[in-house]
Amino acid sequence: MDAPREKRKISEVSPFLLRKNNIKDIKLSDLENPHNLYYLLSSPDSELIIWLQENHLLAQNFDCLRCGEKMTLSSRPKNNPPYAWRCRKAHEISASHFSIFANSHHPIQDTIVFFTTLLNKNSLRLASTFSGFHYNSTAVRFGSLFRNLFKEWVLSNILEPPMIFTNRVEIDESLFGRKTKYHRGAKRGTNVWIFGIVECDTNRLILYPVENRKRETLIPIIKRHVAPNTQIFSDGFSAYGNLNQEGFQHFVVNHKQNFVQFYENPETKQSVKCCTNKMEGAWANAQEHFKSVFYNPMLYCSN
C-alpha cells in the first residue's frame, strides 16, 4: 500500500483563495492575481478614485494653485478622469494632476493595465497592445516615465542614504551581456560587469554595474553598503584580499576545490560556514530576467 500523501495547504497553492471580492481589501500586491485586477478595473469610477487615493496614487486633498483655498473632489462626467478638484472660486483642476495619470487622454483603467503589464515583466509592445496605447508615442512616453520612477526610488531608498547591511553578506561579480560562442566572431552588443552584494539573513540584494573589477572600484562599494566588522563571504578573487584590513571579517571559499568551506575560531571553537550560494542563485535569477529585458524597447526610451 502506498504511503498516505501529506495534505497540502490549499491556501498556499490555490490562486482562487487569493481573490478579493471587495475593492477595499485589494492592495497593490494583490494585483498580481488577474481576478483582483479585473475586479478593480470593473469597479465604479467613484470607488476606483477612492482606492487610488488610499494607495497614494492620487492626491487625497488639494489646495488651489491660483487662490490657495481648499478644493473638493467633484464629479465631472466629461472629464478624464471623470472627477476634478474645485474650489469656491470655481477654479478647477483634474483629479489626476501631479500623478502618473496626468496629461493623458486615456482612461485611468487603461493606464493601470499598461503599468501592471510591465510589472509582470512583459515587453513594452505587449503592454501597449493590452492597454490600447499607441506604441511609438504614448507607450514610449509612459515607459520612460515608468523607468524614471524606479530610478527615483532607487536613489532615495538605496543610494541616498545608502542601504546598510549589518548581517552576513556574500559578494561576487558577473559578466552580463551577449557572448560569442567559442570566442569566435565579432562581439555582439555590450558586455557589462555587475558587482553584487546579498545579505544572507534578509535576502536584500544590491547590484552595481562597474567599469572594471579592480580593488579600487569594488572596495568603496563594499564599504558604502556593509557595516564594519560584518562577516563577508566571497571566492578567492584577488580584489577582495585586504577586506580584513578594511575592518571586515572576510572568509574565502576556493571554488576550484569545493563550494562550501568551514572555519573554526580557535578561541571560541565556533564554526563558520562559508559559501556564496545565495549570490550564485541571485545571478541565475538576474541573468534569466535580463535575457528578456535586454530586448525590451522600454530600456531604450528617450529620457
pLDDT band at 296 (very low <50, low <70, confident <90, very high): very low
For cell 541571485, the residue is: 282
pLDDT band at 176 (very low <50, low <70, confident <90, very high): confident
Residue 269: burial class (beta carbons within 10 Å; 0-12, 13-18, 19+): exposed
User: Beta strand pairing status for 231-234 and 169-176?
Assistant: parallel
User: Beta strand pairing status for 70-75 and 83-86?
Assistant: antiparallel
Residue 85 has a pLDDT of 93
DSSP string, 190-256: --EEEEEEEETTT--EEEEEES---HHHHHHHHHHHB-TT-EEEE-S-GGGTTTTTTT-EEEE--TT
User: Beta strand pairing status for 205-210 and 231-234?
Assistant: unpaired
Lowest mean pLDDT among 35-44, 215-224, 261-270: 261-270
Residue 177 has a pLDDT of 75
Query: pLDDT tens, 187-211?
Result: 666 788 999 999 999 989 999 989 9
Query: pLDDT tens, 240-277?
Result: 989 999 999 999 888 777 778 788 766 666 788 888 88
Residue 274 has a pLDDT of 86
Residue 181 has a pLDDT of 61
Q: Is the pLDDT of residue 165 over 60?
A: yes
Lowest mean pLDDT among 65-69, 117-121, 155-159, 224-228: 155-159
Residue 20: burial class (beta carbons within 10 Å; 0-12, 13-18, 19+): middle
Asked if residue 222 lies in contact with residue 197, where contact means CB atoms within 8 angstroms, the answer is yes
CA–CA distance, 69 with 62 (Å, rounded to integer) = 9
Residue 301 has a pLDDT of 36
Q: Is the pLDDT of residue 59 over 80?
A: yes
CA–CA distance, 52 with 56 (Å, rounded to integer) = 6
Q: What is the dihedral of CA 291, 296, 300, 303, to 10 degrees?
A: -110
Residue 300: burial class (beta carbons within 10 Å; 0-12, 13-18, 19+): exposed
Which amino acid appears at position 170 of this protein? Answer: E
Query: pLDDT tens, 84-132?
Result: 999 999 899 999 998 989 888 899 999 999 999 988 878 889 999 999 9
Residue 288, number of CB atoms within 10 A of its CB: 10
If you average pLDDT over residues 72-79, what whole number do you get?
Answer: 87
